[in-house]
Chains A and B, each alone.
Chain A
Amino acid sequence: MTSLDIAFAAVGTVAAASGLLAVTTRHVVHAALWLVVCLGAVAGCYLVLGAEFVALVQLLVYVGAVVVLVLFAPMLTRAPIGPNDEVTTGVAHRAVAGVLGGAVTGLLLAVLLPVAGSVRSRPGTTSTAVAEQLFGTWVWPFEALSLLLLVALIAAFAVSRMARDGQAASAPGGTTAPGATTAAGTASEGPAEEVAR
């Protein structure tokens, strides 16, 4: 039991506890905020494991960008403020889900703990070494990932445009002129539809 083990146990407990709260709370917004705590604690775990760059990217991209997106979704979908039973399934369904989640944990523990072995030394991984490998060995996967991000952005835009066009076309009594698929037509009809609801 070294000091690193104790530090990892502390941040790991925080991560596991906040993850449990994130999947069990009945508040939609609280779930996203507990996810922030969980991801921050996981970033602390990376720091303890000696991967500073991954920890910083976790904080920047996950806590900074992904969770902000997840927090925006309840606002845009008008999630109810306060506890709500509608967000979870029934008791029987949750029991089955708990059994399956426990089974996943047990399976992974049974596979991983025997190969964990004894205490091993921790060679420090500097950011320079990570950068050299990232732009040396891994440069083509890295470029493919940048392409994937671009495709995901365009796909998200296309999906939201398709939904808006479909709603404008199927609006009862709506003045769907032949040119309604233009950006101006859909932009002027979209907010009106939202208000009418």
Chain B
Amino acid sequence: MSHLLEVKDLEVKFALRFGDLTAIDGVSFTLDKRERLGIVGESGAGKSVTGFAIINLLSKPGYISAGKILFEGQELNQFSEEEIRKIRGNRISMIFQDPMMTLNPVLTISTQMVETVLAHHNMSKSDALDLALEKLKKVYIPSPEKRLDQYPHECSGGMRQRIVIAIALLTNPSLIIADEPSTALDVTIQAGIMDLLLELCETEDMGLILITHDLAVVSEVTEKIVVMYAGKIVEAGSTEAIIHDPKHPYTQGLIKALPGSLQPGSRLYQIPGMMPNLTSIPRGCAFHPRCTISDTICRKEAPPLISVSDHDRMVACHLVK
């Protein structure tokens, strides 16, 4: 069976004066049609870079140094800029964190939406406008006709993010990559945006990659999770399994560190130290200096990502059997 998206041994490097810096090191995962995947990790783990790499949006000095990205059977990383443009924003849409930054402040909503449609489809302007209206209705924007003539600053943060989602939907993509889509929003607005994404994946036949630092959000929306640390996948599996039975010490720490899982007022579990800088990733397992159970082997050898217990479960830890 062919997957919607297959990322195979992806390696992303940044060419710097003093040599290449490895930001993503051998990341592999697959996504089927209509499947929802969460990429979780803290800042600097490489989640966003992974998202950018998929649609070839890495800005210099970043580049894909190895690996394959297969989307609907096509090898995206071999595409020229011209060819990737037919995929990006068309078959694969992206939603970013800050809707104020992604919308152009000096263009009306309708101009931006029509522009997107016309960039990918050959249709009349009035047809494009109808399509824009239809998508705005889909994301539950009240009085969408009025919104079309407004500028981004006239809309609230949640409304803007809905508009961004509507723009992403214009071309009927089969995959949406959402990079921290609700981080800048209030909880009530976030809940609405997440409900909307979930609903759209089902009604519009889309796959979703949700990139976020928030395990709780991911657990409500996705079916499977990839946990990243210092450019590598440390654990992958079904959302259910990862949330209820985390195997990797880092995943366990992340879950235990969340307030809400413990008795109120008790000390929160804290992972000692912090995520290493890319220039000084520790030898062996990158997590070993922060790990409570690390052993001599952890300091020497990087653990491979191997499957454990059930079929879908992958863990990169020497000490997890």
A and B co-occur in one complex: no
Chain A interface (Cβ < 8 Å from any Cβ of B): none
Chain B interface (Cβ < 8 Å from any Cβ of A): none
